[in-house]
Structure 1
Amino acid sequence: MALFLVEVELSDPTREAASAVIDRVAAAFAATGGELVEAQVPAGHERVYLILEGDDCAGVVLDAQTLGAASVTDIVPVRLIGATVDEVRARGNAGYLVEWDIPAEITMEKYLAAKKAKTPLYDTLDDVAFLRTYVREDTQKCLCFYDADSEDAVRHAREVVTTPISRLHALDALPVTAS
């Protein structure tokens, strides 16, 4: 089954609104045989990042107005790196999310080669654990999830692996990972 990313910008940045959007998106995807893998929400509750699994997302229609959201991205295919879907489901929420807008000259092959070479460097750090990355198949951006002591620890980890940060979010611990 394929994995897909949906990002929802909330018009009402609250835990309740985030939970409601997660429930609505999960239900819409379930109606086509898909399933929510995980949903992560920054501490400010302004956005929801949803990872969905399914054979086909063509029948899923996500309308911002119906979701009660300010905007909804297209449903885009992603590749999971650093964990399996079962491991993601078992682990649950991360502490931090790094978004990186990948430069146009970096192809998927270049990205994967760099990721493979740099990932072992995380083992040299005591205050950060790299959990997983979702990279869009069009390589426009990736979402990297960490457990860490602080934002500074995440920034330091990204320096160690010489990979930039476009946006860094502390995540809320909403219980929204699929079971």
Structure 2
Amino acid sequence: MPLYLVEIPLGGRGEAEVVEALDAISKALEGDGEIIEAQIGLEAGRAFLVAEAPEAARLEQAVQRAGLEVTQAKEVLLVGAELEEVKAKAGKANYLVEWNLPAGLTMEQYLERKKEKSANYALVPEVSFERTYVCTDMSKCLCFYDSPGEEWVKKAREAVEAPIDSLTSIKQVGA
């Protein structure tokens, strides 16, 4: 089943309201999909939801029925981790980097570059790269890190020669 990234503006909602909405989304998807992880971008004012669903429209409906707005829903490819690993330790990441991918970059080129540069994360042992979700339309990727601070994430991105379009601390919400 495909994975989708849904971005949800928080609009002043607190964590408890988001958790309640996630429960409603889970129930709506029951037997027809599953929430993999949900993170609140503390500075970004958005929630990032990754879920398995038969199609984006099905997931968007579940989110909207839970009283949340969808600003973006895109199919994504998980890179750097296995799905079961993410389910087991989604809360380990505490920073999220968004990178708007350059026009013309193919998935093959992205994956080759990732393979070539990933070893450089060892130059910044304070940071642990956890996973990336790459939008299959090649518009952007979201990279998750476990780090003692924002400055270390920036150093890790420099080490792998990857830009940062947005950086926010995150907190896992829900299951």
Query: What TM-score results when the alignment is normalised by the length of structure 1?
Result: 0.87
Deviates more, 1:54-63 or 1:124-133: 54-63
- Identity across aligned pairs (percent)? 39
Cα deviation digits, residues 6-29 of structure 1 (max 9, x gap): 111122232122223322333333
Question: CA 1:173–1:55 in structure 2 vs 1: closer, same or farther (change >3 Å)?
Answer: closer
CA shift for structure 1 position 65: 6.1
Matching of residue 41 in structure 1 with residue 40 in structure 2? yes
CA shift for structure 1 position 96: 0.5
Pairwise mapping of residues 39-78 of structure 1 onto structure 2 (< 5 A)? 39-44=38-43, 46-62=45-61, 66-69=65-68, 71-78=69-76
Residues 34, 54 of structure 1: 8 Å contact kept: yes
User: Structure 2 unaligned runs (5+)?
Assistant: none
Letter in 1 for 2:94: G
How many residues matched?
Answer: 174
Question: CA 1:171–1:150 in structure 2 vs 1: closer, same or farther (change >3 Å)?
Answer: same
Matching of residue 13 in structure 1 with residue 13 in structure 2? yes
* Residue matched to 2:149: 150
Give the secondary structure class of the aligned counterpart of 1:91: helix
CA shift for structure 1 position 57: 4.5
User: Structure 1 unaligned runs (5+)?
Assistant: none
Cα deviation digits, residues 25-84 of structure 1 (max 9, x gap): 3333326x1011111112258211111113445544437764433x31343210000100
Letter in 2 for 1:76: K
Question: CA 1:163–1:117 in structure 2 vs 1: closer, same or farther (change >3 Å)?
Answer: same
* Residue matched to 1:101: 100
Residues 28, 61 of structure 1: 8 Å contact kept: no
Cα deviation digits, residues 106-155 of structure 1 (max 9, x gap): 11111111111111111222210000000000010111000011000001
Please give the alpha-carbon distance, in whole angstroms, between the structure 1 residues aligned to 2:154 and 2:59.
36
Determine which structure has the larger helix proportion and give its number: 2
Residues 10, 46 of structure 2: 8 Å contact kept: yes
Pairwise mapping of residues 76-155 of structure 1 onto structure 2 (< 5 A)? 76-93=74-91, 94-155=93-154
Deviates more, 1:2-11 or 1:49-58: 49-58
